[in-house]
Amino acid sequence: MKVIVDRRDGLATVVDACASGVFERPEKDESFPRGLAKEDEVAKGLVKAAWDRKEIRGKRGEVTVVHRPDGRGRLLLVGLGPRNRFDAEGVRRAAATAVKALKGRGARTVAFRLPSFQTEGLPTETVARALTDGAVLGSYEFVKYKTKTEGGVEEVSVALGEEHARDEAGVKKAVAEQHDLAETVLWTRDIANLPADTATPERLAEEARALAKEFGLKVTVFDETKLAEMHCGGILAVGGGSSHPPRLIVLEYPGGSKRGRTVAVVGKGITFDSGGISIKPALNMASMKFDKSGAVAVLGILRAAATLKVPPRVVGVMCCAENLPSGTAYRPGDVVRTYNGKTIEVLNTDAEGRVVLSDGLGYVVAQHRPDEVIDLATLTGAEVVALGDDTGGLVSNDDRLAQGLLAASATTGEPLWRMPLTDYHRELVKSDIADVRNSIEIPVAGMLTAAAFLENFVGTTPWAHLDIAGPAYTTLTTKKYQPAYQNLGAVGFGVRVVTRYLIDSARAGA
């Protein structure tokens, strides 16, 4: 999708549709909003007529189409809800709603009248950014396997209008950055949505190689032979049951500033999680192709870092394996030795994410000595129960890092919620016969015992763990409760929030 910034009023441009935001009026106030005067003028009274007929009410998610009598396309009136509860997330949702409403209806170009989406306290650049984000993200559909597709909006213009024309330079910069970032999210979704027969660990390695080539990054792929030499017993054990062998993939982006710090991002890349010998029930097992979402988000973050030239050096690590039952699969009771020398007692082969991450985390901490480590993983069903389908769980041993991620979360609209990590959780993951165990006998604090397990592999490095089991993908049932910029399937969760953190934390002098 193309996104441009236009100094003119959206109503004066030649487009298939011009979208305006409409705020909900306080109850009993039936008067026609002054903000719609220009729309009504070009529509020769049709907007006011629709208002009087109560077709337009400004409710969130409401879209009304009015055709311009002069034949110059249509007006899209997009409900924004009450003005006093409106924010950047509201803009993002409204833009996505508009783009979705136009899908398959012959509109290729749409202009957003920026001032109509603005309210007190929302800077013009923030509105422009959110419009871009929502429009690009909302346009996505996974179409790789469709033989027929519906056309949608191809070009979006952020129309400033006279009163905002002086902000043009700043808006252009913000829009360009957000456009790059949102396009990377779509790219990430396309890979995360691939089924497991296609997106094997080796295929993910190929994606990493192609990305490295395109952006001049360094890439290293450790195959099963190399992993054995390196004593990566965790990732080898988990991948042992599949005919698609495991891979540990390392991508390095050198950083945009000389004296920048190094941030490692590590992702869980289970290309399919059947549970292994501790096999999962059949219901919804198909969605376990999304168990690679953490590793694919790492790919996306590296792509965004390189595209936007973020200040810190970034090392991306993808821990990729397929978890299947077979005669060569690892089993409950096995003990494996990991890269950093620590041993794991495997009690449940379905708690495999933490087992592959143990090698990835141990490796990156020892070999790259990062200033910070952030891991992303669809790690526990307990995370979904605790925080739902939209919010990621954040566990961290470092308040500054945690605060930085929460700030980026507020900016980008990818919700995160911090959870505690205590000695109680650490005690629970101790094993009788090895250093740690991957599962415990009582079903308590599953998200936090998983985090306590991971902590063993980061040492004292400032570390943040993002359990994205809930928000990584939507299903037919959860989709209808999600904002319009989320699609069915993988949503690329984590790319925007972590990239934002990489940019903003450097600006803050870290």
Which residues contact ligand BES (rule: CB under 6 A)? 273, 291, 348, 350-353, 378-382, 384, 439, 446, 469
Q: To the nearest whole angstrom, how small is the minimum distance from the Cβ of residue 277 to Zn ion?
A: 11
User: Is the CB of 23 or the CB of 493 nearer to ligand BES?
Assistant: 493
In angstroms, the CA 205 to CA 199 distance is: 10
Contact string 322-351 vs Zn ion (x = CB under 5 A): ----------------------------x-
Q: Got the DSSP string for 304-373?
A: HHHHHT-SSEEEEEEEEEEE--STTS--TT-EEE-TTS-EEE-S-TT--HHHHHHHHHHHHHHHH--SEE
471 touches Zn ion (CB under 5 A): no
Q: To the nearest whole angstrom, how small is the minimum distance from the Cβ of residue 386 to ligand BES?
A: 11
Q: To the nearest whole angstrom, how small is the minimum distance from the Cβ of residue 410 to ligand BES?
A: 24
Nearest 10 degrees: CA dihedral of 475, 476, 478, 484?
100
User: Is the CB of 42 or the CB of 384 nearer to ligand BES?
Assistant: 384
Helix, strand or coil, per DSSP, at residue 181: helix
Instruction: Tell me which of Zn ion, ligand BES, none is bound by residue 439, counting a contact when its beta carbon lies within the kind-specific cut-off of 5 to 8 angstroms.
Output: ligand BES
Give me 220's structure tokens: 């290293």
Instruction: Tell me which of Zn ion, ligand BES, none is bound by residue 487, counting a contact when its beta carbon lies within the kind-specific cut-off of 5 to 8 angstroms.
Output: none
Are the C-beta atoms of residues 502 and 181 closer than 8 Å to each other? Answer: no
Of 273, 227, 229, 280, the closest CA to residue 249 belongs to 227
Q: What spatial distance separates the first Cα and last Cα of the chain, rounded to whole Å? A: 34
Give Cα 108 to chain centroid, integer Å: 26
Q: To the nearest whole angstrom, how small is the minimum distance from the Cβ of residue 179 to ligand BES?
A: 30
252 touches Zn ion (CB under 5 A): no
In sequence order, the β-bridge partners of residue 323 are 273
User: Is the CB of 118 or the CB of 378 nearer to ligand BES?
Assistant: 378
Q: To the nearest whole angstrom, how small is the minimum distance from the Cβ of residue 350 to ligand BES?
A: 4
Give me 83's structure tokens: 């003005």
| Cα distances (angstroms) measured from residue 476 to each of 37, 414, 479 | 40, 20, 5
**Which residues, including other chains, have CB under 8 Å from residue 379's CB and lie 6 or more apart?**
268, 294, 353, 354, 447, 450, 465, 467, 468, 469
Show contacts with Zn ion in window 255-314 (CB under 5 A).
Answer: 270, 273, 291
Q: To the nearest whole angstrom, how small is the minimum distance from the Cβ of residue 454 to ligand BES?
A: 13
Are the C-beta atoms of residues 401 and 464 closer than 8 Å to each other? Answer: yes
Instruction: Tell me which of ligand BES, Zn ion, none is bound by residue 391, counting a contact when its beta carbon lies within the kind-specific cut-off of 5 to 8 angstroms.
Output: none
Are the C-beta atoms of residues 332 and 278 closer than 8 Å to each other? Answer: yes
Position with the least CB separation from ligand BES: 381
Instruction: Tell me which of ligand BES, Zn ion, none is bound by residue 156, counting a contact when its beta carbon lies within the kind-specific cut-off of 5 to 8 angstroms.
Output: none
Helices of type H across 456-494: 476-479
Total residue count of the chain as it appears in this document: 510
User: Is the CB of 62 or the CB of 273 nearer to ligand BES?
Assistant: 273
Are the C-beta atoms of residues 376 and 494 closer than 8 Å to each other? Answer: yes
How many separate helices (H) and strands (E) can be counted in the chain?
16, 19
40 touches Zn ion (CB under 5 A): no
Give Cα 245 to chain centroid, integer Å: 27
Q: Which of 353, 413, 446, 483 binds Zn ion (CB under 5 A)?
A: 353
User: Is the CB of 153 or the CB of 395 nearer to Zn ion?
Assistant: 395
Q: To the nearest whole angstrom, how small is the minimum distance from the Cβ of residue 273 to Zn ion?
A: 4
Helix, strand or coil, per DSSP, at residue 22: strand
User: Is the CB of 382 or the CB of 408 nearer to ligand BES?
Assistant: 382
User: Is the CB of 351 or the CB of 387 nearer to ligand BES?
Assistant: 351
Active site residues: 280, 354
Give me 315's structure tokens: 């090392």
User: Is the CB of 115 or the CB of 494 nearer to ligand BES?
Assistant: 494
In angstroms, the CA 96 to CA 90 distance is: 10
Q: To the nearest whole angstrom, how small is the minimum distance from the Cβ of residue 459 to Zn ion?
A: 24
Give the footprint of Zn ion on this chain (CB under 5 A).
270, 273, 291, 350, 352-353
